[in-house]
Amino acid sequence: MAEQQAAPEQMDAGKALATATAKAGANYKLTIYELENFQGRKVEFTGECLNLGEKGFEKVGSIQVENGPWVGFDRQGFNGEQFVFEKGEYPRWDSWSNSHSSENLVSLRPVRVDGSEHKISLFENSGFNGRKMEIIDDDVPSLWAHGFQDRVASIKAINGTWVGYQYPGYRGHQYIFEKGEYKHWNEWSASQPLLQSIRRVRDMQWHKRGCYQVPAASS
Per-residue model confidence (pLDDT) at position 80: 92
- Residues facing 79 on adjacent strands: 75
What percent of the chain clears pLDDT 70, i.e. is strictly above it?
A: 79
Per-residue model confidence (pLDDT) at position 11: 35
Distances, alpha carbon 12 to alpha carbons 39, 71, 130, 158, 179, in Å: 40, 19, 20, 14, 11
pLDDT confidence band for 26 (50 / 70 / 90): low
pLDDT confidence band for 12 (50 / 70 / 90): very low
Q: Does this model's pTM top 0.85?
A: no
Per-residue model confidence (pLDDT) at position 4: 38
Reported CATH class of domain 29-110 = mainly beta
Per-residue model confidence (pLDDT) at position 68: 84
What percent of the chain clears pLDDT 90, i.e. is strictly above it?
A: 68
Positive or negative, the CA dihedral 192, 193, 196, 199 is positive
Max intra-chain CA distance, the chain: 52
**Alpha carbons 137 and 120: distance in angstroms, whole number:** 9
Domain 119-200 has CATH 2.60.20.10: yes
- Whether residue 207 is predicted with pLDDT greater than 90 in this model: the reply is no
Residues 124-139: tens digit of each pLDDT: 999 999 999 999 999 9
The domains of the chain are located at: 29-110, 119-200
Q: How many CA atoms lie within 13 A of 200 on its CB side?
A: 24
- For the beta sheet containing 79-85, the strands, ordered from the edge strand earlier in sequence to the opposite edge, are 107-110, 70-75, 79-85, 171-177, 162-167, 197-200
Same fold, 29-110 and 119-200: yes
Segments of the chain assigned E as strands: 29-35, 39-45, 62-67, 70-75, 79-85, 88-90, 107-110, 119-125, 129-136, 154-159, 162-167, 171-177, 180-182, 197-200
